[in-house]
Chains A and B, each alone.
Chain A
Amino acid sequence: MDFLELLQVLDSSLRLAIPLLLACLAGLFSERAGIFDIGLEGKMLGAAMMAAAIAAITGNVWLGLLAGIFASVVLAGIHGLASITFRGDQLISGVAINFLAAGLTVVVAQDWFAQGGRTPSLDGAARFNPIELPFAIGPSDAAETGRRLNELIAEASPIQQVYSELISGHTLLVYLALLAVPLSWWVLYRTRFGLRLRAVGEAPEAVDTAGISVIRLRFVAVILCGVLCGIAGAYLSTALLGGFVKDMTAGRGFIALAALIFAKWRPWYALSATLLFGFLQAVVVRYQNVEVGNFTVPVQFMDALPYILTVVILAGFVGKAVPPRAGGQPYVKER
């Protein structure tokens, strides 16, 4: 593997890590407020379908993004209603949302587009296109010189290669997601809202006696989770791929949850954890037919590898991950 090939793998790691990162941050806000959310998967899926559908109908990806966020927030609202207002079991509510989204997305897509539960493929203004950063070698240079992009990059200096291959050429959502990491950290640790959010996940009774509404705070967290999941889902269907297909989240919501535990509910750790999982997925995508001696490792095994490694990492390398103390428990006022 040469340097350029490594860059290409890292580049696709980043692309694949972004939905995990957004979902992981979504889960972080929710769980830091004491609401466990295994419905990340369902919210992403719902958002992916709505984003692709509205983008396909209107031809405007921004309307698609908004629709995706809206769908995800509605599902988050249901989770909030069940687990905060009615003090239901957060796991059950999350599972219900996953099932709901898995079924509903296909039904709605079939009803609207009659393409077997898919949305039409998106192009042009109906999807997020790569942004070419200044001074980077991109498709425009290739068009100008009449040569292939790969050749141009291969001839450039290593720094230019990193810049053009790895840093430049992503969609806007990728850069937004990366910005969301320091922003989340700042909100969590440097603002009043963050202090209260962390407090309500640890000791809601302390928040309550301080005269702050536990219910309102938790709802804000859950809605925030919905927004981030919505962006994650829209990214899948309008940026990473050009359209929605059935079950396209493929367990990413659960991997994001694993990454959240791995990250010990911290934003910067969440970035490293999701990059690691993204890297695993990128390696699998790139090396489908690995041969060990005469033996060809089955593709199915390679496909399963990220999931297997998720389990291994969670079981062996996490160390002590202490979840927010009040996580999973509805708050009941007591004397």
Chain B
Amino acid sequence: MSDAAIELRGISKAFGPVQANKDISIRVMPGTIHGIIGENGAGKSTLMSILYGFYKADAGEIFINGEQTTIPDSQAAIRAGIGMVFQHFKLVRNFSVVENIILGAEDGALLQPSITKARKSLKQLAEEYELNVDPDALIEDLSVGHRQRVEILKALYREADILILDEPTGVLTPAEADQLFRILERLKAEGKTIILITHKLREIMHITDTVSVMRRGEMTATVKTAETNPQELAELMVGRKVLLNVDKAPAQPGAPVLEVEGLSVHDGDGVQRLKGVSLNVRAGEILGIAGVAGNGQTELLEVLGGMMRGTGNVRLNGDEIDLTGKYSDGQSRRARGISHVPEERQDEGLILEFAAWENVAFGYHHDPDYQRNAMFMNNAAIRAETAAKMERFDVRPPITNLAARNFSGGNQQKIVLAREIERNPDLLLVGQPTRGVDIGAIEFIHKRIVELRDAGKAILLVSVELDEIMSLSDRIAVMFDGQIMGERLPGETDEKELGLLMAGITGDAA
């Protein structure tokens, strides 16, 4: 048996009382793609940060190509041939590609020789791995997919043999993700070792040779990808059976609740974000809006939720909604029976410094139940209601006094959902309900949304996760460049077709 490219033995790391990594051992064979999967907070990123010299392990040994090494800092990791592509790119945005490539890997005190060398090397790498990027382009002018390529090129320029990618597809469109996978296959064919960290089962199944599963700081299993299946992996991740597909009965749509005609919105800079959007959502139905982030979905939610003004006709249960006047604010929308779970829960859904019970009252603080008299609010009543909501929504820890900041992403989202769903709205606007939420909570949140639908309410769902749109929606509308490109039924379409629509290519033309 040949030496492993990377072998970790008994790695442990604690942050205060929290054991982020517990006695982790793993062998990654050279020339393979090794997946590491786990829920948020399972310790994947900590483990990789140890490997890249960001943290020092409390205990354990690291072997690179069979030789024991220590990695005290990033420079040592780079010397050992390890390259890392972080989830949030570590690029200087107003530098050119070539300047970013050489930063920290310059050959001498003067720049010019390094730049000349890097240009040549970039050309070679571009041919070798199909990693084409204009060396003189500024990072801020590049698309997210291209920025990621620059990160990969950075690692390759430093002659990395082992490439670690942390949640690389989180910010990519399906087409860009496919491209990334092709590049990774190519790198593997050239003998590079790749570690892919993700929480997306589909990617693991699609591209890895071996997969390790982490749960609560421990490595629960390492299996060959060909010998496992998504259900098994999900179980290993969560520690119990999970429903990967949302279990829901066929929709029983009723009368239209929301009718939108020719809705247009200009943002503060005068750019038109919505270009005559028309759609409707019926009672007892979930309409999913698919699209790459930034194509007008945010504005659609915000104008319907009363956070932005727009022009056009919007009717709720047949009655016109004020889009520009005195009643175009969020308060009036709530009064009309529209609840809104905003995309940015930390900025718009919650005030992080405030306690959970205060957050539960926000937006509904005029509710008569919350008033003690004309002067004072009835905080006891709000606390009691918060405690009840926390129990019903399984918010952990169930402490009403805890600041919203101190809950995990999934539990923060549950607080927002509890506040909005339990108002029993006619229409629920919900954006990115499970972004940054771990798999157990995703399941719970999806179930609640479906329950609301089954109670005969209309739901407008915006998500950049195609899986989520596909499994949750009863109807799917695809947005591109502020317009609806088309509507599909989830049973009669696939990711490929939706992906094309998301890129602005209509299927009819093809």
Contact = CB atoms under 8 A, between A and B. Distances in A.
A-B complex is real: yes
Interface of A: 189-196, 198-199, 202-203, 205-212, 325, 333, 335
Nearest to A201: B92
B121 interface: no
Interface string B95-139: 100011011111011111010000000000000000000000000
A110 B93 CA distance: 51
Given A190-B111, A206-B90, A195 B106 contact: yes
Given A190-B111, A195-B99, A335-B46, A210 B104 contact: yes
Interface string B59-78: 00000000000000111111
A206 to B, nearest CB: 4
Q: Which of the listed residues A189, A193, A211 has the most CB atoms from chain B within 10 Å of its own CB?
A: A211
Given A202-B92, A205-B90, A192 B100 contact: no
A199 B103 contact: yes
A192 B110 contact: yes
Main secondary structure of the interface of A (DSSP, over half): helix
B45 A195 contact: no
Contacts of B76: 211
B103 A210 contact: yes
Contact of A333 (B45, B54, B91, B108): B54
Given A191-B110, A203-B90, A211-B77, 14 more contacts: A189-B111, A190-B110, A192-B110, A195-B99, A195-B106, A196-B104, A203-B93, A205-B88, A207-B104, A208-B74, A208-B90, A210-B90, A211-B104, A212-B103
A193 B111 CA distance: 9
Contacts of B53: 211
A210 B106 CA distance: 11
**Nearest 6 A-B pairs (CB), nearest first?**
A210-B104, A211-B75, A211-B74, A206-B90, A192-B106, A209-B90
Q: Which of the listed residues A196, A198, A203, A325 has the most CB atoms from chain B within 10 Å of its own CB?
A: A203
Contacts of A193: 109
Contact of A209 (B84, B93, B99, B111): B84
Contacts of A210: 74, 78, 90, 103-105
Contact of B109 (A191, A203, A206, A207): A191
Contacts of A212: 75, 103-104
A195 B111 contact: yes
B389 to A, nearest CB: 31
Contacts of A335: 45-46, 49, 54
Contacts, number: 75
Interface residues of B, number: 34
B94 interface: yes
A132 to B, nearest CB: 37
A192 B105 contact: no
B86 interface: yes
A185 to B, nearest CB: 13
Contacts of B93: 202-203, 325
Contacts of B103: 195-196, 199, 206-207, 210, 212
Contact of B100 (A191, A196, A206): A206
Contacts of B108: 192
Given A203-B90, A335-B45, A209 B74 contact: yes
Contact of B92 (A191, A206, A333): A206
A196 B100 CA distance: 10
A262 B235 CA distance: 60
A333 B52 CA distance: 13
13 contacts: A192-B106, A192-B111, A198-B92, A199-B92, A202-B93, A202-B95, A203-B91, A206-B91, A210-B104, A211-B75, A212-B104, A335-B45, A335-B46
Contacts of B54: 333, 335
Contacts of B84: 209
